[in-house]
Amino acid sequence: MRVWIDQDLCTGDGLCVDHCPDVFVQLEDGIAYVAEQGDPLNDPGGSGSLAWVPVKHYQSVVDAAEACPGECIFIEAVTSAGHSIAGRPAPAQLRASA
């Protein structure tokens, strides 16, 4: 699973950080970003802002996306063959594949 945030839609509530601080961070601009291994990925609109999510955080990332008031968290599921399933899949789809 990979995840990214559309910073233009982010409301800065920080609920994503509450749900999964290992994947989401809030920078001094008040906006949330994804992180990999503790490093924020700050390349809005670019592929550099697409973070790989460790399996142990799948459910927390889905919960964060569901709770996000700005609906700015986008999840990309990846098949076992390594192909991307773009978009924001329904949580039931992610739970079934995790």
How would you list the strands of the sheet with 32-36, edge to edge?
Answer: 24-26, 32-36, 39-40
Task: Give residue 92's domain range.
Answer: 2-97
Residue 49: the pLDDT is 84
Q: What number of other Cβ atoms are within 10 A of residue 31's Cβ?
A: 20
Residue 86: the pLDDT is 57
- CATH assignment of the domain containing 9: 3.30.70.20
Q: pTM above 0.85? A: no
Residue 83: the pLDDT is 55
Q: How many domains does the chain have?
A: 1
Structure tokens at 73: 């968290």
Nearest alpha carbon to residue 18 among 71, 73, 61, 70 = 61
Q: Which residues of the chain have pLDDT under 50?
A: 88-98
Residue 77: the pLDDT is 86
